[in-house]
Structure 1
Amino acid sequence: MSTGRAGHVARSTTRSTIRPHSETPEATRDRVPLRTFLRTADGVAIDSVYEPGDPPFRDLVFVIAHGFTGHADRPHVRRAARAFARYGGVVTFSFRGHGASGGRSTVGDREVLDLAAAVGWARGLGYARVATVGFSMGGSVVLRHAAAGRDAGVDAVVSVSAPARWFYRGTAPMRRLHWLVTRPSGRLVGRYGLRTRIHHRQWDPVPVSPAEAVPRIAPTPLLIVHGDRDGYFPLDHPRMLAAAAGEHGELWVEAGMGHAENAAPQELLERIGDWVVGRAG
């Protein structure tokens, strides 16, 4: 799988606390937050935010990939960003079709290019170690992105509440999601009710599934996290991912946890931060 060339900045915002990409090395030293638009390899503008972390882990940056219908400013994404800022710098972004980003969502396919642009930006900020943390759809994206091996440019991968296989309809929430994505009326609800612009075209070709991608991630450290009360994907999904990972992956099944970033408790986010610090190089 090719993730394409990491993106560059399309344009910067005008907010006074934000500087353009060309000034990011100085901004990193000065611990100044940045917000800008990155350009993906296929030309989509991706709204992205960088926040410096706390010492002593200033050589490490977390890149957070949100779930479907989320975006960089969602409260639970911001909560995760604050938790990980205790361990390093943090880059958040909105996938295509979400929030202020351009394009339309392909529900986990071309989103690999969005993550590649964010990882490339994180490296450009001067960090020696990059960890990707994805939730739900973002969890599938970090797995497929990391399957590029060394070309992915990541030192640790955390996938939370991700599916193992495509086209799953075994739960009521997933049946509703398929209606949202595949039906014109569903896409209207997505656009105007959920502020998510969904592409009308079906996948062609169908991308490599998360379970097929996982064996290609080794030797990069991999953590798979899933709640035992996840209403979208039952436990056979994380177990399938863990089986595909073999000895190089870890599986945490979280008692009482539901789905994705909305359900991740503070204590879990802190444990993920500790795991990344210990594994990312």
Structure 2
Amino acid sequence: METARQHPRPDGHAMRLRTSDGVDIAATHEPASSWSTELAVVVAHGFTHRGTSDAVRRVVDVLRRRAGVVTLDLRGHGESGGASTIGDLEVHDVEAAVQWARQAGYARVATLGFSLGGAVVVRHAGTFRDVDAVAAVSAPSRWYYRGTKPTKRLHRALGWPLGPAVLERFYGTRVARRHWDVRHPETWCPEPRAVVGAIAPVPLLVVHGDSDPYFPLDHAHDLADAAGEPVELWVEQGYAHAENAAPPQLLERISGWISTAVGVPCQG
């Protein structure tokens, strides 16, 4: 991990983080509009996205009104090294960002993840237990789900011999294919619903749309039902999936929830 600074730079900057399992991760820190070091939010993007995606930038713009923001390219995505394990080893990527924020002087650190990133922040918080609040949006509760047309297409693509090459060529996403192979259960890791209970008593927010084309509402209910208190479940009418579909009003509400959950007064 990069050398920590005692105070975050006010102008924001790109950086490289080194995970505990040796992967080089691209990340960016942007301070709160007020330059406050009360709260940092680590944002984990969805599959095939990256920290600089337009949809992620919209999230950052809202969060920065109240908090410093650390975005990262999860392994196998964008400018980061390694290969995507679709929710397993990515917990180390989030942990590197959390530890950077702590060492940079932030008093409280929360995580916010979308889709794949939502599963990652749940697993991260249930494993490392070193954050002050967690928000998971459009997150799957279990692995190898194929109950919708988009998830069936994704599994077919990853099972196709040229599928990983196509993902890398057109999306810049490199996949550790063995993690997606149901014939190799030794690569499986605990599902989000299996570890979500360990997050308590850290506040958890689960957000899911009733029009999600990837993961139906039972995924959100699985997570909320298995979580300990305090947990909130927001079912959003007409909301589809992840950061691409998140309206500004929802992002503002999530930002406000995070501030309230960690005890930082909302200022806008």
Alignment TM class, shorter chain as reference: over 0.9
Question: Which ranges of structure 2 fall in alignment gaps of 5 or more residues?
Answer: 180-184, 264-268
The amino acid that maps onto 1:195 is G
Match of 2:154 among 145, 156, 177: 177
| Alignment map for 1:243-254 (pairs within 5 Å) | 243-254=225-236
Q: Do the aligned residues in 2 keep the contact of 1:53 with 1:86 (CA within 8 Å)?
A: yes
Match of 1:100 among 79, 82, 85: 79
1:74 lines up with 2:56 in the alignment: no
Tell me which residue corresponds to 1:18: none
Q: Deviations over 1:12-40 (max 9, x none)?
A: xxxxxxxxx45x335x2x51212111001
Match of 1:61 among 33, 40, 59: 40
Q: Do the aligned residues in 1 keep the contact of 2:200 with 2:229 (CA within 8 Å)?
A: no
1:263 lines up with 2:245 in the alignment: yes
The amino acid that maps onto 1:173 is P
**TM-score between the two structures when normalised by the length of structure 1:** 0.88
**TM-score between the two structures when normalised by the length of structure 2:** 0.92
1:221 lines up with 2:194 in the alignment: no
Identify which range, 177-186 or 133-142, moves more after superposition. Answer: 177-186
Match of 1:121 among 84, 91, 100: 100
Runs of 4+ more than 6 Å apart: none
> Take 1:169 and 1:135, find their aligned partners in 2: how far apart are those partners?
19
Tell me which residue corresponds to 1:279: 261
Q: Do the aligned residues in 2 keep the contact of 1:116 with 1:152 (CA within 8 Å)?
A: no
Identity %: 50
> Take 1:200 and 1:164, find their aligned partners in 2: how far apart are those partners?
21
> Take 1:214 and 1:82, find their aligned partners in 2: how far apart are those partners?
28
SS at match of 2:196: helix
Match of 2:112 among 123, 133, 142: 133
1:153 lines up with 2:153 in the alignment: no
SS at match of 2:98: helix
Q: Do the aligned residues in 1 keep the contact of 2:203 with 2:229 (CA within 8 Å)?
A: no
The amino acid that maps onto 1:263 is A
Q: Do the aligned residues in 1 keep the contact of 2:206 with 2:232 (CA within 8 Å)?
A: yes
Q: Please tell me the root mean square deviation across aligned C-alpha atoms, in Å.
A: 1.4
- How far apart are 1:246 and its partner, in Å? 4.5
Q: Do the aligned residues in 1 keep the contact of 2:208 with 2:217 (CA within 8 Å)?
A: yes
Tell me which residue corresponds to 1:232: 214
> Take 2:76 and 2:40, find their aligned partners in 1: how far apart are those partners?
25
1:38 lines up with 2:17 in the alignment: yes
- How far apart are 1:199 and its partner, in Å? 1.1
Q: Deviations over 1:34-92 (max 9, x none)?
A: 21110011111000000000238531001000000000110001110111001110000
Tell me which residue corresponds to 1:211: 193
> Take 1:189 and 1:214, find their aligned partners in 2: how far apart are those partners?
33
Match of 1:91 among 70, 94, 102: 70
Tell me which residue corresponds to 1:162: 139
SS at match of 2:42: strand
> How many matched pairs?
258
1:196 lines up with 2:177 in the alignment: no
Q: Deviations over 1:187-217 (max 9, x none)?
A: 1111101110111223634111111111111
The amino acid that maps onto 1:126 is G
SS at match of 1:215: helix
> Take 1:71 and 1:245, find their aligned partners in 2: how far apart are those partners?
28
Question: Which ranges of structure 1 fall in alignment gaps of 5 or more residues?
Answer: 1-7, 10-20
Q: Do the aligned residues in 1 keep the contact of 2:209 with 2:241 (CA within 8 Å)?
A: yes
Q: Do the aligned residues in 2 keep the contact of 1:44 with 1:96 (CA within 8 Å)?
A: yes
> Take 1:157 and 1:194, find their aligned partners in 2: how far apart are those partners?
28
